A and B are shown apart, each in its own frame.
Chain A
């Protein structure tokens, strides 16, 4: 099973709302990632977790707050977002952080900020 699941599929939120995105994998992977993808652009890395610890933060604004409660789950907490944060948010996982490891992507959450 090489499936990464993400919920919700779609999310509409106002700029004052607080919401969370959820990602889950049951492949025993120890590295998990959040990406942001704008229309017609490649994904941009936001965060990397390795063994449930934050390994990389690509200078993401604090209105995005990641959390890795256990090795299978990854959350992205959203607060006070701006309309320009509207995008497809992709989660991915891999066995580890070796460069040759394949990252497996979820279907994404399409976020619209009003």
Chain B
């Protein structure tokens, strides 16, 4: 079946460090790809998305590019802040049904 694999955390970085969270997927068709963020005690917020190969999603300094050849959607940010500390979920959704398949989540901790 369809699945998403994320790098295990927690990831601990100092403020202003470069962030990469790896995400790869397995899908039989052409999924849309998402990154959601969950701050402590809150629900999920969409961070960015891409709906076709080579699309780049970006928001709040975060970026991810849909790479069909490597089935990947890695999340990057050039300079993290303490306020970026959260759990990040990579997810996919197939063409119809809109059922989100989530990765396990990666905890990010940013120290000042």
Q: Which residues of A contact B (CB under 8 A)?
A: 4, 6, 31, 40-43, 45, 48, 56, 90, 92, 94, 96-108
Given contacts A104-B46, A105-B43, contact A43 B102 (CB under 8 A): yes
B100 CB–A CB distance under 8 Å? yes
Q: Which residues of B contact A (CB under 8 A)?
A: 31-32, 34, 36, 42-46, 49, 51, 89, 91, 93-100, 102-105
Check B95 against A98 for contact (C-beta < 8 Å). yes
Given contacts A31-B98, A90-B43, A90-B44, contact A100 B93 (CB under 8 A): yes
Check A42 against B103 for contact (C-beta < 8 Å). yes
Q: Once bound together, how far apart are the Cα atoms of A31 and B91, in whole Å?
A: 18
Q: Once bound together, how far apart are the Cα atoms of A4 and B43, in whole Å?
A: 10
Tell me the nearest residue of chain B to A44, going by C-beta: B102
B27 to chain A, nearest CB (A): 10
Tell me the nearest residue of chain B to A4, going by C-beta: B43
Check A99 against B96 for contact (C-beta < 8 Å). yes
